Structure 1
């Protein structure tokens, strides 16, 4: 048979052959959204952030709320990647300490691209930050934001005045939506102990105050501030000066305060909309009339569903007790002891002489607590002069995480062991705000 009389292959066959030659398996897979999303779901958050740069289509798939919510839920609880440490200088400055890799702790100013002033972190919760910024020209005005430092997304909260403290609540294993609770001053009408006790069961615990307070809530899916009407107005201690230490744990927001005559925690259960006081650990020094050291340190933090409390009242003691409250418990247990003596042997700069008593004291601050999947993986992060170190509770070993190099305005090179007032967890997350 001549070549001219050969029967040609059907067009569909030729098309299939050409498709098989010109299209690689990777391209075919990339064209199937379901398969691609399944593959992407196995990647860590950090890798997913980089994958958004591959193409507009990949970015659209990864930033889709359905996908990001699925990732957050499947990987919960997300690991703590690092800590933001707030400086003491007039210019708001943070240093970032990585818990994943050894690297230099660099000073930085957290800013939004469209805002002229630095942001101040108020609270960190499961990958989201509650922040505030001053507003020009009146620096007493504040804008409050919920910010995801991983995705750089932010939401401006509606304005609110006469507030004492704000607290962020976000549990991605339960809901992709977050809430912000506001402890707000009401009217001044309480003038006697009897009237105070009739306002709220919580009020009877405290000394009488002329001010009443209530709680308001903003929800990311429901909108503007509303008053929580199921909670009656209540009073707070007259000696109360600071409620900035707030923690979200076990479905409730907690406001901690430590005053001359009070050590309390105000707890608001979100689902039940109930307010109560949470007891703090009973410490030995409370048996004595002597007041704690001037430099008393306290630290409260949530990690992997448990609440942790640390308080230092004797800077001359090498023993650092760590208390823990589990989700299904209402009492504190003494979970760990940190012995500072081995740490002092390796880093002698931690030991100093108190200038007015000449006694030996330990110079440190607690800046982080990381609970691992097992106790053997759990550790505490301490700020000692010029560096941050982590101490493993079970192995009793420690490791230097980073050095605190001096910044432009830091003339002591991070030598002040109270150099960071607050620390905030950094958790990589795709949560939408």
Structure 2
């Protein structure tokens, strides 16, 4: 291949800037393959002037712990994907303005969405969207419901636009529906508020479909639309204007009630979901991929029993685990399991489980699953109007 390029193939005439722009638009796995094309391509991708444009690998996870016997009781951490070394990101986000409290709500393609409580009034807040890699940030004004909303997500695609969107899913009770008129769907979403960084305003959309979203449900922003797993065991899809709603059915496992959607994830430009269920052969974890978003065709990509997944050493984790992320460019998932919240990776191609590190029991937040937010750095400057 390199010889062909040296002999004057058309692609060899492309300037470095144009070639770097082309490569920056492909997934991370393809970028790694591009390094093998020629020494020119390898050096181009590795050069500091171009590296910041290229897709980056998963760097690690933000997570919190709570211990009533210490001060402060709540602490925030960043764990590298290797589980070793100093955190690649300062989890305190010290470059942001000082607030009375800060919660990381979501991460999308390198940007963090934070809810920041003001010291002047503990009931008032700002949303802050920031880029830890460049330490740039922008304030998003709160709505009248922001202090009570449980599900807020971020939408951002740097290869499409430098602008982002914030989605507030406002349930019936928060919206002010009278208790006697509440639906049978616990936590049913009544209204969606969407903020556009381009327009600088919020828009509200009333909904004509009934669903609820678990607080820990991870979102995927793909092709200009947000995808979220619901408590009703389907996936809801909404565009940035809030007009185009779609519901995507998922394959029904043998025992529907025992098979919640553990999460919706993005890997290699495909949408995935995972669930676990129980049948006559025991407990299993299954991984499904959406092959065609228009025909809504799902394909079973992987299936593994809990016994094979955890083996004898970790057999007690069968009912105490949670899939938290996919590796962007590989058939690999990340799992937190056990009372001590052990972070582990599972290579689906090799069917191999690897221990990364132990996050500790303090990272368990109440009865809910441990909340870990995966982070992939973005070294470009998308927040043009930020600080």
Match for residue 38 of structure 2?
none
Q: Which structure is higher in strand share?
A: 2
* Structure 2 unmatched ranges of 5 or more: 1-14, 25-47
Corresponding residue SS for 2:297: coil
Deviation digits for residues 208-246 of structure 1 (CA, Å, limit 9, x no counterpart): 999983433322222122346xxx543635xx4745623
What displacement does 1:169 show? Answer: 1.1
Match for residue 276 of structure 1?
246
What is the CA–CA distance in structure 2 between the aligned matches of 1:361 and 1:419, rounded to whole Å? 16
Aligned: 1:124 with 2:98: no
Corresponding residue SS for 1:366: strand
What displacement does 1:159 show? Answer: 2.1
What displacement does 1:336 show? Answer: 1.0
What is the CA–CA distance in structure 2 between the aligned matches of 1:75 and 1:84, rounded to whole Å? 22
Match for residue 301 of structure 2?
335
Contact 2:100 2:117 in 1 (8 A): yes
What is the CA–CA distance in structure 2 between the aligned matches of 1:212 and 1:383, rounded to whole Å? 29
* Structure 1 unmatched ranges of 5 or more: 1-34, 45-67, 197-205, 353-359, 407-411
Aligned: 1:248 with 2:212: no
Aligned: 1:257 with 2:230: yes
Aligned: 1:87 with 2:69: no
Match for residue 236 of structure 1?
210
Corresponding residue SS for 1:421: coil
Query: Among residues 33, 54, 65, which one is paired with 1:75 in the alignment?
Result: 54
Contact 1:120 1:133 in 2 (8 A): yes
What displacement does 1:322 show? Answer: 0.9
Q: How many residue pairs get matched?
A: 329
What is the CA–CA distance in structure 2 between the aligned matches of 1:40 and 1:305, rounded to whole Å? 20
TM-score, length of structure 2 as denominator length: 0.68
Aligned: 1:226 with 2:197: no
Contact 1:309 1:322 in 2 (8 A): yes
What is the CA–CA distance in structure 2 between the aligned matches of 1:210 and 1:100, rounded to whole Å? 37
Aligned: 1:383 with 2:365: no
What is the CA–CA distance in structure 1 between the aligned matches of 2:20 and 2:271, rounded to whole Å? 33
Query: Among residues 117, 139, 143, which one is paired with 1:134 in the alignment?
Result: 117
1:33-432 alignment to 2 at 5 Å? 75-76=54-55, 78-87=56-65, 89=67, 91-99=73-81, 102-103=84-85, 110-112=92-94, 113-136=96-119, 138-162=121-145, 164=149, 165-184=151-170, 213-227=190-204, 233-234=207-208, 236-237=210-211, 240=212, 242=214, 245=217, 246-258=219-231, 262-270=232-240, 273-286=243-256, 291-292=257-258, 298-314=262-278, 317-326=282-291, 328-329=293-294, 330-345=296-311, 348=313, 350-352=314-316, 361-372=318-329, 377-385=330-338, 386=340, 387-404=342-359, 406=360, 412=361, 421-429=370-378, 430-432=380-382
TM-score, length of structure 1 as denominator length: 0.62
What is the CA–CA distance in structure 2 between the aligned matches of 1:271 and 1:69, rounded to whole Å? 35
Larger Rg: 1
Contact 1:250 1:327 in 2 (8 A): no
Contact 1:252 1:268 in 2 (8 A): yes
